[in-house]
Every structure is written in structure tokens, then in C-alpha cells.
Amino acid sequence: MPAIPRPSADEFAPYYGRYINAVPDGDALALLERQIGETLALLRTIPEARGSHRYAPGKWSIKEVLGHMADTERVFAYRALRFARGDRTPLPGFEQNDWVPFSNADARPLGELVEELRLVRGATVALFRGLDDAALARRGTASGVEFTTRALAWIIAGHERHHLRVLGERYLEAAGSARP
């Protein structure tokens, strides 16, 4: 099982640099395996009654943020699968703000969303664990931009870090919860 080293700037769209730069140096696979435990520990401290909290009108609820995290990880893992398998078919983008209202996240128990996120990460880790160096270096196009499979692992890790920071700063800190 190869390590997944940090991608170079030509392996992803510039927009995603903010996620990749949020990830510490090292092996993205090891981080993905370790990170979910830290995330789950934090999420399990949030009371069910707080799950529908929005820090401002028109913003997502905590439950919607978790649903978005799971959906986005699925999308990026699917892209990684396609690219790793040599599929060069250009993939469309997705508009997160269009997806969230259809996620039904606010109608679901918070614990169920936390468990879903755990299961999605397990599938993501299994996918990346099975890839060799050649698969990690393969490229594909999504949203009109070329990515490597490797870059997608880093983007997934950084996307999670981004949303944990947002949860800590905008949703939990105001309620007196610990920040991630």
C-alpha cells in the first residue's frame, strides 16, 4: 500500500488549494484513517437538539453540514475511482447549494448522520488503500479541470478539515463547545 504524498499544483484546480493547504504534510491515506476518529469524537459531543442550529438565517444547519460532508466525500471518491480505473470521460461538477435542500438532513437524527459519515469514510479509505502508485497518478477531468487521483485524497481530507473549522468557529464556539 503506497503512501499518498502531497500533490503538486498541476494536479488539481487552484480553488482546491485551500483544502490541500489545510492538510499537514505526510501521507493522506494515514490522515484519512486517523482524521475520522477525531471528527467523530467531536461530532458525538453535539446534542441532538443542537443539530438543526444555523449560525445565521439562510445558512446550513449542523445536520446539513454533515450531510454535505458525506455527499461531497462520495462525489470525490467516485471521481477518484473513475480516474484510478483509467476512465477519461469528463465528469460534471455538482452544485452543493442545490443538493443540500434535497438531502433531507434536518429530518434525520444527528447520530445517524454521524454514522453515515463514518461509513462513507470507511469506504473512501478502502478505495484509496487498494490503489497503487500508477492509479494514484492517473488523471481525469471533473468540472472542466484535470485532477490526479492522489489530489482527490488530499481534497477529501482538506474538505473535512475546512468544515470542522467552520463548525467549531460558527456553530459550536458560540454555544460554548470546544473547537476542533
Residue 16 covered by a domain: no
Structural domain that includes position 59: 28-48+55-175
Torsion sign over Cα 150, 156, 161, 165: positive
Residue 5 covered by a domain: no
Residue 12 covered by a domain: no
Question: Which of 31, 53, 34, 40 is closest to 116 using CA atoms?
Answer: 40
pLDDT-derived band of residue 178, with 50, 70 and 90 as boundaries?
very low
Residue 21 covered by a domain: no
- Cβ atoms of 19 and 169 closer than 8 Å: no
Residues in the chain: 180
Q: Which three cell numbers stand for residue 167?
A: 463548525
Alpha-carbon distance 121 to 138, whole Å? 22
The secondary structure of residue 11, as a DSSP letter, is G
pLDDT tens by residue, 41-95: 999 999 999 999 999 999 999 999 999 999 999 999 999 999 999 999 999 999 9
Question: Which of 76, 91, 95 is closest to 149 using CA atoms?
Answer: 76
Q: What is the mean pLDDT of the chain?
A: 94
Alpha-carbon distance 162 to 172, whole Å? 14
- In single-letter form, the type of residue at position 173 comes to E
CATH of the domain at 149: 1.20.120.450
Residue 136 covered by a domain: yes
Residue 87 covered by a domain: yes
Residue 10 covered by a domain: no
Residue 171 covered by a domain: yes
Which residues, 6+ apart, have CB-to-CB distance to 7 below 8 Å?
20, 148, 150, 151, 154
Strands 139-142, 145-148: pairing is antiparallel
pLDDT tens by residue, 51-66: 999 999 999 999 999 9
Torsion sign over Cα 115, 120, 122, 123: positive
Structural domains counted in the chain: 1
Q: Which three cell numbers stand for residue 83?
A: 480516474
- In single-letter form, the type of residue at position 107 comes to A
